[in-house]
Amino acid sequence: MSNTTDLGAKANMLLIDVDGPIATLTMNRPGKRNAMCDELLDEIEAFFAKPPEGVRAVILTGSEGHYCSGLDLSEAVQRNAEGVMRHSRNWHRVMDMIQFSGLPVVSAMFGAVIGGGLEMAASTHVRVAEEGTIFQLPEGMRGIFVGGGATVRIGRILGADRMGEMMLTGRKYNAEEGLALGLTHYSVGKGEALAMARKLAGNIAKNASLSNYMMIQAISRITDMSRSDGLFTESLCAAVSQTSEDADEGLKAFLEKRAPQFR
């Protein structure tokens, strides 16, 4: 039985549907291609700051045929240099919450995945794009620079050289091209992204929550470490996970040829 609520009901910008262990967050800004504004960002932050009890995986998606078209420039506030820096750092903080909350997040993408929308997608752990998806970083055509974490997250996916070209030219990539480049992990047919995301989120939710947490917290951080520090951190994660109750259950289930029942 699903339970649909919305945070920030006055604006109705984020719809939240909890169905068992899976929460689906739908960005909902009609007529705006779900462009990001501070209020919507606040609602996303509020969810990840205190997810509903029992949720083990999250789907992040959009409404009206679009994922997110980036920062809503029509509502952009004139800020001085300090204000822009603080605004950017707030984006970084919320994107970090999505990436490191401990909940696996699957993006179901279609239509516009542009600018800040692509920055947000890159902070999620599994990405599904359907036919008709457009990936773009158009900041160069607007006379601005990315500020939501693209140079770190998208830069690491594409590499600095390709990301630089993407920004300089305003180049657009489709779902198949995005798959080849790593902007998405799955490319599916029209209208199939959400169904695939639900299937993947359901499988992920069946994993042990501790091992999911370890994967979310450790893997991206290990890439920032030296080789020796990364290998030592891997050993720590292995020690914690492999001596847990869930590890015992996983081994018993394997030997008994049944599905594991994790905590």
Question: With 0-12 CB in 10 A as exposed, 13-18 as middle and 19+ as buried, what is 180?
Answer: exposed
Q: Give bridge partners of residue 22 from the DSSP assignment.
A: 19, 57
List the catalytic residue out of 119, 176, 234, 249. 119
At 140, list the tokens: 């160069």
Question: With 0-12 CB in 10 A as exposed, 13-18 as middle and 19+ as buried, what is 258?
Answer: exposed
List the catalytic residue out of 39, 131, 139, 249. 139
**Secondary structure letter of residue 198 according to DSSP:** H
**Secondary structure letter of residue 1 according to DSSP:** -
How far apart CA 253 and CA 247 sit, in angstroms, is 10
Is 43 annotated in the active site? no
Which amino acid is residue 127, in one-letter code? R
At 87, list the tokens: 């605004």
**Alpha helix segments (H runs only) across 7-115:** 38-49, 81-100
Residue with tokens 């945070």: 7
How far apart CA 219 and CA 183 sit, in angstroms, is 18
How far apart CA 229 and CA 120 sit, in angstroms, is 28
Is 119 annotated in the active site? yes
Q: How far is CA 178 from CA 183, 190, 252, in A?
A: 5, 15, 40
* Chain centre distance of CA 102: 12
Active site residues: 119, 139
